[in-house]
Amino acid sequence: MKRIVVLGSTGSIGAQTLDVVRRHADKLEVVGLAVGTRVGELLAQAREFGVRHLAVGDERLAEQPIADELRNAILSGSHGGTQQPASAPSSLAEAVARHNAGGEGSLGFGADAVVDLVRLPEADIVVNALVGAAGLRASYETLAAGKVLALANKESLVVGGDLIMPMAAEPGRLMPIDSEHGAIYQCLLGEDPREVSRLWVTASGGPFRGRTRADLADITPAQALAHPTWNMGAKISIDSSTLMNKGLEVIEAHHLFAMSYDRISVVVQPQSAIHSMVEYSDGSVKAHLGTTDMRIPIQFALSYPERWDAPVEPLDFTKLGTLEFAAPDTDTFRCLALARAAGERGGTLPCVMNAANEVAVAAFLAEEGSYLGIAACVEAVMDAHERQGVQRVESLDQLEELDAWARAEARRNVR
């Protein structure tokens, strides 16, 4: 039995992780759950899986009055009982304290409480599905605590790869969850890394494949969120549409597989049937194909080194039709080129680039900035940091300080 903590349990990756647990309840047990703000869903998950250790990232919710519907959901408890106490709780903290009554449990609010879950002595694996740079410290502390890190948080390696990878040298300590790196990981199994000549990271091309910059001038958030093949959260969906997501994955691949940037290529594969490829020195290419469902890489990260029964219907090659390939349009989708440039320059520039992108994407989703303005904002903040001087990555505190600076600078450059 593998015991897991899921950080970001109500997001797309977190919810699909719990679905894998449902299918393999004889092999997996959830011992900790963390969310940002979606407390009602968190408590429903806690009841279903019998989880006693909970964390809520938004500390402002600790004393916030809660609605009757949510209060009743909490007070139903995780023991199957429905009897209501005489008095209703006045805050979320009190309500969940009652939820934990009758068994040993914990509830915390704020970023530190989320990170505390990775240190649970009973936990074997931590699924880090947090969104954004907030996931970096959780990844660092997971490895520091000797746990296996199942990583869906791209920013952990984009921002802090220089700190994270030396802690994950032992095989199996860091298992990538995203489809591209999970595919590369599997294509490398049993191979000599010295015989790898190129990593091919595939991209769907997003909803705007084939468009020109002029076509993208008036793009709305709703249009950008309509991904053609994958079901993802809002931030990642926007990143996919700008190809920033693919730029982040190039940086991740550099760190995960110790591969130089000149040997990492991006290819557009619109059907998303090929999840990535590895080219070897003799000209052979291994490709990982499968259904476009994130439960496959999630399950492999949790089952490794074993393979369990498929969580989805396998790909039917007789119905696949054709496979298309094309080079990415980095002139139109400038975020890919910006991310690669940040990775090649290295040091603290990827941290700054990532923070600026998070701010620009949030502004676009809030209709405070334009679609094309995302790349413009990122480039402006990168230029400002380079003028100040890119630094060598030395600590989490250093990265968090630069992250804060970059966010403030990005807010001044939203356009």
Sequence ranges of the binding site for 1-deoxy-D-xylulose 5-phosphate: 154, 179-180, 204, 227, 240, 245-246, 249
DSSP-H helix ranges across 131-173: 135-144, 155-164
What is the spatial distance between Cα 111 and Cα 37, in angstroms, rounded to a whole number? 12
Structural contact between residues 128 and 7, judged by C-beta atoms closer than 8 angstroms: yes
Count CB atoms within 10 A of the CB of residue 407.
Answer: 17
Helix and strand numbers, DSSP H then E, in the chain: 17, 11
What is the spatial distance between Cα 333 and Cα 171, in angstroms, rounded to a whole number? 35
| DSSP 8-state code for residue 86 | S
Place of tokens 């009841």: 47
In this structure, the chain runs to a length of 415
Closest CA to 272 of 186, 340, 179, 200: 179
What is the spatial distance between Cα 343 and Cα 254, in angstroms, rounded to a whole number? 8
Q: Which helix (H) or strand (E) holds 12?
A: helix 12-23
Dihedral angle at the C-alpha atoms of 128, 132, 138, 142, nearest 10 degrees? 40
Specify binding-site residues for NADPH: 10-13, 36, 153, 155, 233
In this structure, what token pair is assigned to residue 162? 């220089």
Specify binding-site residues: 10-13, 36, 153-155, 178-180, 204, 227, 233, 240, 245-246, 249
Which residues are within 8 A (CB) of 339 and not within 5 positions of it... i.e. 6 or more apart?
Answer: 244, 246, 247, 248, 250, 251, 350, 353
Place of tokens 């089952």: 303
Place of tokens 């936990």: 123
Handedness of CA 387, 390, 396, 397 (dihedral sign): negative
Max CA distance (Å), the chain: 74
Specify binding-site residues for Mn(2+): 178, 180, 249
Structural contact between residues 187 and 167, judged by C-beta atoms closer than 8 angstroms: no
